[in-house]
Amino acid sequence: MVFYFSGTGNSKWVAKYLAQLINDEAFDIIDLKQLPNIYNEKQIGFVFPIYAWGIPEPMALFAKKLMKNKAFVFGVCTCGEDAGLAMKHFSKIYPLDSSYSIVMPNNYVIGYDIEDEQTIKNKLTNAKIKLQSISNEIKEQRKTYNVQEGSHARIKSSLVNFGFNKVARNTKSFYTTDACSGCSVCVNNCPKSSISLKNGKPVWEGQCYMCMRCINECPQQAIQYGKDTENRKRYSIKKYLEEDK
Ligand SMILES: Cc1cc2nc3c(=O)[nH]c(=O)nc-3n(C[C@H](O)[C@H](O)[C@H](O)COP(=O)(O)O)c2cc1C
């Protein structure tokens, strides 16, 4: 079984493609009604995006609760550049036999401009090639640590990640412009259920996962975060998967 969490579809695509290559099935942990029975599983995989050089909260909580068995366990994280020590931290929660990072398009639109078309396409092509070789290694149950940690990994995965989870996950800077049609796509899409409609318009409450699904997938491009996102494009992997067909 391959378990995944995905904000904007990168990790979902990685999990599904990898599962297909290793004749397995991928499950979105947000949709699971109860903890899965993995007693008879021979291989277990975890796929998730890197958030501030760390593990997204829902994946860490899921892994903490999941039973351990004798299966071969692999973890694959997706990141725009590098993962820091996230996979080593994950391994302390749920021991991994093999760990990989895959560079994917950066979806962090509230922090950076979305990459240009060619960079996105190159990343997706390279990811596909890397996943094919990862799938062969998983089939052989090869133990390995193939993770792009990047520079200053220790400090990024401790202090910076701590700050992200404490402060930067506050939703108060999200708002909608007049372009919002009140369609509820963001409300229904939010994996943390942090968005609700008030007077026909979405409002954000409390902390969220900062997964970027709402802002990237709004059909009207009406969701903004602070001032900087007004002039930025949005990222959707769906567009590139459609072109690939
Ligand atoms: C809140 C947040 C923090 C991120 N932090 C990092 C990071 O520390 N390093 C990195 O290389 N990419 C980072 N990214 C980029 C994502 O990890 C990357 O785009 C990932 O593939 C998104 O996967 P998803 O589409 O499954 O959500 C971050 C993205 C978000 C939304």
Give pLDDT, residue 243: 76
Q: Which residues contact 31 (CB under 8 A, 6 or more apart)?
A: none
State in Å: Cα 70 to ligand 1 middle: 31
Chain segment 222-231, per-residue pLDDT in tens: 999 999 999 9
Closest-CA residue to 124 (of 44, 240, 229): 240
Pocket of ligand 1 from Cβ distances under 6 Å: 6-12, 49-53, 78-82, 104-108, 210-212
Q: What CATH number did the domain enclosing 228 receive? A: 3.30.70.20
Residues 68, 175: one domain?
A: no
The two structure tokens encoding residue 207: 């902390």
Residues 143, 182: one domain?
A: no
State in Å: Cα 53 to ligand 1 middle: 8
Q: Does the pLDDT at position 245 exceed 70?
A: no
Report the C-alpha gap between 185 and 205 in whole angstroms.
16
Number of domains in the chain: 2
Nearest CA to ligand 1 atom 22: 49
Residues 155, 94: one domain?
A: yes
Nearest CA to ligand 1 atom 29: 108
Chain segment 109-134, per-residue pLDDT in tens: 999 999 999 999 999 999 999 999 99
Residue 132, CA distances (Å) to 57, 71, 125, 169 in order: 28, 21, 11, 34
Chain segment 138-189, per-residue pLDDT in tens: 999 999 999 999 999 999 999 999 999 999 999 999 999 999 999 999 999 9
Atom of ligand 1 minimally distant from the CA of 209: 1
DSSP 132-177: HHHHHHHHTT--EEE----TTHHHIIIIIHHHIIIIITB-TTEEE-
Residues 108, 147: one domain?
A: yes
Domain that holds residue 189: 167-244
Last residue of a domain, one of 103, 136, 164: 164
What does pLDDT average to over the chain?
97
Last residue of a domain, one of 112, 129, 164: 164
What's the DSSP call for residue 84? Answer: T
Give pLDDT, residue 92: 98
Confidence grade of residue 72 (pLDDT, cut at 50, 70, 90): very high
Residues 37, 147: one domain?
A: yes
